[in-house]
Chain A
Amino acid sequence: MTTIAPATSVDLPSSERTAAAPVAVPWFLWAVAFASTSVMVGIIWDISWHRTIGRDTFWTPAHLAIYLGGAVAGLSCGWLVLQTTFGGSVRDRAAGVSFWGFRGPLGAWVCIWGSLAMITSGPLDDWWHNAYGLDVKILSPPHAVLAAGILSIQIGAMLMALAQQNNARRGDRGSELPFVYAGGVFIVMLATLVTQEIAFANAQHGNTFFIVSGVMFPIVLVGLARAARGPWGATTAAGVYMGVTMIMIWILQLFPAQPMLAPILRQVDRMVPPPFPLLLVVAGLVIDLVIRRLPADARWVRQSATAVGAGLAGLVLFGIVQWYFAEFLLSPAARNVFFAADQWDYNSRPGAWQYEFRTAPATWGGLGLAAAITAGSSLGGLVWGNWMRRVRR
Chain B
Amino acid sequence: MRAVARMLVLVCAGVAASAHVGTSNAYFEGAAGPYGVRVIVRTPGVIPGLAQIAVRITSGTGVEAVTVRPLRADVGLEGAPPADRARPVDGDAALYDAELWLMTPGSYSVHVRVAGAAGEGTAFVPVLAVAERRLPMPSAMAAGLLGAGVILFVGVITIFGAATRESVLPPGDAPDRRRRVRARVVMGLTTLVLAVTLWGGWTWWDVVDAAYRDRMYRPLQTSTTLTDTEDGAALRLTIDDPAWQGRDWSPLVPDHGKLMHMFLVKDDDLAAFAHVHSTPDADGRSFDVPFPPLPAGTYRVYGDIVFESGFAQTLVDEVEVRERPSLSPQEARDPDDSWAELHPHGAYDDTAYGLPSGRAMRWHRPEALVADQETTLRFAVTETDGRASVLEPYMGMVSHAAVTRDDGSVFMHLHPTGSISMAAQRRFETAEGLAKPGLHRHGAAGGVSFPFLFPSPGPYRIFVQVQVAGVVETAAFDVNVSPAFGPG
Q: Which of B163, B174, B205 contacts A106 (CB 8 A)?
A: B163
Q: Is the CB of A54 within 8 A of B103?
A: yes
Q: Is A338 an interface residue (CB 8 A)?
A: no
Q: Is the CB of B172 within 8 A of A6?
A: yes
Q: Is the CB of A7 within 8 A of B48?
A: no
Q: Is A390 an interface residue (CB 8 A)?
A: yes
Q: Is the CB of B159 within 8 A of A113?
A: yes
Q: Is the CB of A127 within 8 A of B49?
A: no
Q: Is B46 an interface residue (CB 8 A)?
A: yes
Q: Is B152 an interface residue (CB 8 A)?
A: yes
CA distance A109 to B175 in the complex (A): 19
Given contacts A106-B163, A130-B135, contact A141 B205 (CB under 8 A): yes
> Within residues 87 to 139 of chain A, which ones have a CB less than 8 A from any CB in chain B?
91, 94-95, 97-100, 106, 109-110, 113, 116-117, 119-120, 123-124, 127, 129-134, 136
Tell me which residues across on chain B come within 8 A of A140, comparing CB atoms.
Answer: 208
Nearest CB on A from B176, distance (A): 11
- Give the segment of A187-195, A239-247, A260-268, A303-311 that binds chain B: A260-268
Q: Is the CB of B49 within 8 A of A133?
A: yes
Interface string of B132-168 (1 = CB under 8 A from A): 0011010001001100110110011011001101111
Q: Which of B103, B148, B170 contacts A347 (CB 8 A)?
A: B103
Q: Is A10 an interface residue (CB 8 A)?
A: yes
> Within residues 28 to 68 of chain B, which ones have a CB less than 8 A from any CB in chain A?
44, 46-49
Nearest CB on A from B168, distance (A): 4
Residue of A nearest to B78 (CB): A264
CA distance A261 to B163 in the complex (A): 47
Given contacts A7-B172, A130-B46, A141-B201, contact A262 B75 (CB under 8 A): yes
Q: Which of A4, A94, A144, A260 contacts B82 (CB 8 A)?
A: A260
Q: Is B349 an interface residue (CB 8 A)?
A: no
Residue of B nearest to A259 (CB): B81
Q: Is B430 an interface residue (CB 8 A)?
A: no
Q: Which of A131, A144, A262, A263 contacts B134 (CB 8 A)?
A: A131
CA distance A262 to B103 in the complex (A): 7
Q: Is B434 an interface residue (CB 8 A)?
A: no
CA distance A258 to B158 in the complex (A): 47
Count of residues in B whose CB is under 8 Å from the partner chain = 54
Q: Is the CB of B131 within 8 A of A133?
A: yes
Tell me which residues across on chain A come within 8 A of B70, comparing CB atoms.
Answer: 261-262
Q: Is the CB of A120 within 8 A of B174?
A: no
Nearest CB on B from A54, distance (A): 7
Interface string of A36-65 (1 = CB under 8 A from B): 000000000000000000110000000000
Tell me which residues across on chain A come within 8 A of B168, comparing CB atoms.
Answer: 387, 390-393
Tell me which residues across on chain A come within 8 A of B101, comparing CB atoms.
Answer: 54-55, 134, 261-262
Nearest CB on A from B107, distance (A): 11
Q: Is A18 an interface residue (CB 8 A)?
A: no
Q: Is the CB of B172 within 8 A of A91?
A: yes
Residue of A nearest to B144 (CB): A123
Nearest CB on A from B401, distance (A): 31
Q: Is the CB of B159 within 8 A of A110?
A: yes
Tell me which residues across on chain A come within 8 A of B145, comparing CB atoms.
Answer: 120, 123-124
Q: Is A167 an interface residue (CB 8 A)?
A: yes
Tell me which residues across on chain A come within 8 A of B151, comparing CB atoms.
Answer: 116
Nearest CB on A from B109, distance (A): 10
Q: Which of B79, B148, B172 contacts A262 (CB 8 A)?
A: B79
CA distance A124 to B162 in the complex (A): 29
> Within residues 225 to 251 of chain B, which ones have a CB less than 8 A from any CB in chain A?
none
Given contacts A136-B48, A260-B81, contact A127 B103 (CB under 8 A): no
Q: Is the CB of B79 within 8 A of A264?
A: yes
Q: Is the CB of B152 within 8 A of A113?
A: yes
Q: Is B484 an interface residue (CB 8 A)?
A: no
Q: Is the CB of B46 within 8 A of A132?
A: yes
Given contacts A4-B174, A124-B145, A391-B167, contact A263 B103 (CB under 8 A): yes
Chain A interface size, as a band, is 35 or more
Tell me which residues across on chain B come within 8 A of A264, comparing CB atoms.
Answer: 75, 78-81
CA distance A5 to B169 in the complex (A): 13
Tell me which residues across on chain A come within 8 A of B170, comparing CB atoms.
Answer: 7, 12, 167, 392
Q: Is the CB of B205 within 8 A of A12?
A: no
Tell me which residues across on chain A come within 8 A of B81, comparing CB atoms.
Answer: 54-55, 258-262, 264
Given contacts A6-B174, A131-B46, contact A106 B75 (CB under 8 A): no
Residue of B nearest to A142 (CB): B205
CA distance A323 to B152 in the complex (A): 41
Tell me which residues across on chain A come within 8 A of B47, comparing CB atoms.
Answer: 133
CA distance A119 to B144 in the complex (A): 12
Nearest CB on A from B171, distance (A): 4
CA distance A4 to B201 in the complex (A): 39
Q: Is the CB of A100 within 8 A of B163?
A: no
Tell me which residues across on chain A come within 8 A of B199, comparing CB atoms.
Answer: none
CA distance A376 to B433 in the complex (A): 62
Tell me which residues across on chain A come within 8 A of B144, comparing CB atoms.
Answer: 123
Residue of A nearest to B81 (CB): A260
Tell me which residues across on chain A come within 8 A of B82, comparing CB atoms.
Answer: 258, 260
Given contacts A117-B152, A260-B82, contact A133 B48 (CB under 8 A): yes
CA distance A88 to B353 in the complex (A): 86
Interface string of A137-178 (1 = CB under 8 A from B): 000110010000000000000010000000100000000000
CA distance A98 to B165 in the complex (A): 9
CA distance A259 to B137 in the complex (A): 32
Q: Is B212 an interface residue (CB 8 A)?
A: yes
CA distance A134 to B48 in the complex (A): 5
Q: Is A336 an interface residue (CB 8 A)?
A: no
Tell me which residues across on chain B come within 8 A of A54, comparing CB atoms.
Answer: 81, 101, 103
Q: Is B71 an interface residue (CB 8 A)?
A: yes
CA distance A100 to B162 in the complex (A): 10
Nearest CB on A from B221, distance (A): 24
Tell me which residues across on chain B come within 8 A of A134, comparing CB atoms.
Answer: 48-49, 101, 103
Given contacts A124-B145, A264-B79, A387-B168, contact A141 B152 (CB under 8 A): no
Residue of A nearest to B46 (CB): A133
Q: Is the CB of A99 within 8 A of B46?
A: no
Q: Is B173 an interface residue (CB 8 A)?
A: yes
CA distance A391 to B170 in the complex (A): 8
CA distance A1 to B208 in the complex (A): 45
CA distance A5 to B212 in the complex (A): 57
Residue of B nearest to A56 (CB): B101
Additional pairs, 13, CB under 8 Å, beyond known A141-B204, A262-B81:
A9-B172, A12-B172, A91-B171, A95-B172, A113-B155, A131-B134, A132-B209, A134-B48, A167-B170, A258-B82, A347-B103, A391-B168, A393-B166
5 A-B residue pairings within 8 Å (CB atoms): A113-B155, A127-B137, A131-B135, A347-B103, A393-B169
Query: Hey, which bits of chain A sit against chain B, CB under 8 A?
Result: 4-10, 12, 54-55, 91, 94-95, 97-100, 106, 109-110, 113, 116-117, 119-120, 123-124, 127, 129-134, 136, 140-141, 144, 159, 167, 258-265, 347, 387, 390-393
Query: Hey, which bits of chain B sit against chain A, CB under 8 A?
Result: 44, 46-49, 69-72, 74-75, 78-82, 101, 103-104, 108, 131, 134-135, 137, 141, 144-145, 148-149, 151-152, 155-156, 158-159, 162-163, 165-175, 201, 204-205, 208-209, 212
Closest 3 A-B residue pairs measured CB to CB?
A: A131-B135, A95-B171, A134-B48
